[in-house]
Chain A
Amino acid sequence: MSKFLDLDELSEEDRMLREEVHRFAEEVIRPASVELDRMPPEDRIKPGSPYFKVMKQMKKLGYHRMYLPENKGGPGLTPLQRYIIFEEVAWGSLGFATALGVDMIPFVSAALFGTPEIYEELVVPWIEDEEGKFHGCWGVTEPEHGSDYLITLREDPELVARFGKGNVVAEKDGDEWVISGQKSAWVSSAPVATHCGLHAQLKGSRSIAEGLFCIVPLDSDGVKKGKPADMLGMRDDPQGELFFDNVRIPEHYVVVAPGFFYGIFCDQLLCLTSCGMGAFAVGLARACFEEALNYARQRVQGGVEIAKHKNIKLKLYEMFEKVETARYYVRKVTEYTHKKIIEQQTADASPRHARAAQIYAKKIAYEVAHDAVQIFGAYGLSKEFIIEKLFRDARSMLIEDGTVEVLSLEAAEDVIDNYEKDFYDVNHITRILS
């Protein structure tokens, strides 16, 4: 189902984009995602896997370039158009939407904040890639530090120091940096990635807040990948560990150096990814709602279609309400955030609003998926219907890219400290990284 009344006044270009991406999601992404979901983890990353076929087509369509500003090789999309691509791709598959999102992180960060050398060396080939030769991933989560990374900037510095040493550390050696350690098994796309946008703690520093963000080519000497993990949901985007054994990178691969601006970068990057996750959650929630609506219109119980039963009607309305409210809030926040980070490049988006977009949309996606399974009855528990997969994906979303609880606690700090301020206050970063 691709048609719904859009409350934004879409231009002809917006409408055509939505139709094009939806068709691709329906005809290519979704069938591949179902196939991948049922494959053993090791088979999903073998050459010839449907994963690579879809990624190659996405590269050909140029979706990976969508976050780049025009002066950095981007197609000049509006925030609404970027949102539309993410919602439609996630309607097809949360895994492929995530793969598309994390692919961008190292390269878009390098384009926005990196030097001209790294842009020419790494970003340009990635922009021009139409074969799926390059694939990025985002190395944040560590065996001993998951939620720690999310809350670090807003917590008391003494407490953050007690979080313990980072599992990945970086040390300067001449005009190179040396990276050592391990990222956890939950790094999305790691088993298939060629480059990692990596967060590493500065060796000898007090806490994981004192880190840097760099790009590590995953064919460098000393890099090893773990086995792809066998997860409950989002099985269409392989996840796995990354190991770094004295991996050397040139100095200009450090996109964000240690210090105050590393804090700004982490805070603002989470604003961008929160908008993305919000759009993914709306796409997934809409997919669940549409499956449930279709089913309820056809399934007969008590002599009538179940859509005529009052309890089902109520559920369907509530699902509709949740999808609609989430969509327009996430779109509004995306518009504001992208203006600040991508268009004006002033890096002063609002963390509390961006987090709210992600948290709210994730929560409603799970609620809608849950109600959809209930409407399907026993069929909802069977692999015969896609709703079973969508439910597992929605459940995973409550944890992926930050648990909703820790994201909420982190956003709460910003609400309590800064609610009345009409600007991005960086006192929390000054406190920990001054």
Chain B
Amino acid sequence: MAVVFPSKEWMEELHKNVNADEEYKKVAANWEGDYLCVVELDEEALKDFQNPKVLKGFLEMLDSIPKEKRESFRGTPSEKMLEALGLSLDAELSEVNVEEIAKKIAENPDKILEAAKGATLNIWMDFWHGEFRHIEVAAPGEHEDAKFKLIGPYAVFKQLVMGKADAITLVVSGKLKLQGDMGYMMRNMATVKKFTDLMASIPIES
């Protein structure tokens, strides 16, 4: 089933697919550790957010962060972006009128883009011995001690998710930045590759 990216459905589909894959279980049998993906919101993101479905997916992801954790957004570019969209951190972000906000972005993309400068969508994923234990949207500063941190613009993450480029290519070409124990990463390249192949196999609704 095709899902929207970014969205909670995409996260759930990824979680389900990885855990259902027998080959992944085998290659990742020794993998221990978590990832923090820091998706930098860029021009491409703002373009996609003009589609109400995509915007809804994004806002639902943010809404999955418990309200008490949202305090860490105060003063960040992400809060400024929400303000530019006329939204508050305390709002029920899943229930806002996405058609109206998408229209607002379409009417003034440059202004919203300026406000969104530095805003990120952080996704935390935890893996242990062949099991994909958990995936969640993280608040700023949360899971900063993850074993690996993958940082890059939304447009590049989208290439990865849509299977247009693989993670190794994107990291090697410098489009994605990878921080963490590189020795461990190189010893487990087969695990990384299998995971990103599974990620790319999820059909994305355009």
* Interface residue ranges, A against B (CB under 8 Å): 113-116, 252, 254-261, 264-265, 344-348, 423-427, 429-430, 434
Contacts between the two chains (Cβ within 8 Å), count: 61
Show 22 residue pairs from A and B whose CB-CB distance is below 8 angstroms, ordered by the A residue: A114-B173, A115-B165, A116-B164, A254-B173, A254-B174, A255-B173, A257-B172, A257-B175, A258-B174, A259-B174, A260-B182, A261-B172, A264-B172, A345-B193, A347-B186, A347-B189, A348-B186, A348-B189, A424-B186, A426-B183, A429-B182, A430-B182
In the complex, B159 has a CB within 8 A of chain A: yes
Q: Are B171 and A115 in contact (CB under 8 A)?
A: no
In the complex, B76 has a CB within 8 A of chain A: no
Residues in chain A near residue B189, CB distance under 8 A: 344, 346-348
Asked, given contacts A115-B165, A116-B165, A254-B173, whether A427 binds B183 with beta carbons under 8 Å apart, the answer is: yes
- Closest Cβ–Cβ distance, residue A47 to chain B (whole Å): 36
- Closest Cβ–Cβ distance, residue B127 to chain A (whole Å): 17
* Interface residue ranges, B against A (CB under 8 Å): 159, 164-166, 168-175, 182-183, 186-187, 189-190, 193
Q: Are A423 and B187 in contact (CB under 8 A)?
A: yes
Asked, given contacts A260-B182, A346-B193, whether A424 binds B187 with beta carbons under 8 Å apart, the answer is: yes
Residues in chain B near residue A425, CB distance under 8 A: 183
Asked, given contacts A257-B174, A259-B174, A346-B193, whether A113 binds B186 with beta carbons under 8 Å apart, the answer is: no
Q: In the assembly, what is the distance between CA of A252 and CA of B172, in Å?
A: 12
Residues in chain A near residue B165, CB distance under 8 A: 115-116
- Closest Cβ–Cβ distance, residue A430 to chain B (whole Å): 6
- Closest Cβ–Cβ distance, residue B164 to chain A (whole Å): 5
- Closest Cβ–Cβ distance, residue A384 to chain B (whole Å): 51
Residues in chain B near residue A424, CB distance under 8 A: 186-187
Q: Are A256 and B183 in contact (CB under 8 A)?
A: no
Residues in chain B near residue A258, CB distance under 8 A: 174
With beta carbons under 8 angstroms apart, the residue of B169, B182, B187, B190 that contacts A115 is B169
Known: A115-B170, A116-B159; 15 extra A-B contacts, CB below 8 A, are A113-B168, A115-B175, A116-B164, A116-B165, A252-B173, A255-B172, A255-B173, A257-B175, A261-B172, A264-B186, A344-B189, A345-B166, A424-B186, A424-B187, A425-B183
- Closest Cβ–Cβ distance, residue B134 to chain A (whole Å): 26
Q: Are B190 and A344 in contact (CB under 8 A)?
A: yes
- Closest Cβ–Cβ distance, residue A232 to chain B (whole Å): 37
Residues in chain B near residue A345, CB distance under 8 A: 166, 168, 193
Q: Are B169 and A113 in contact (CB under 8 A)?
A: yes
Q: Are B182 and A434 in contact (CB under 8 A)?
A: yes
With beta carbons under 8 angstroms apart, the residue of B166, B173, B186 that contacts A256 is B173
Q: In the assembly, what is the distance between CA of A357 and CA of B188, in Å?
A: 25
Q: Are B182 and A257 in contact (CB under 8 A)?
A: no
- Closest Cβ–Cβ distance, residue B189 to chain A (whole Å): 4
Which of B159, B166, B168 gathers the greatest number of chain A CB atoms within 10 Å?
B168
Nearest chain-A residue to B190 (Cβ)?
A346
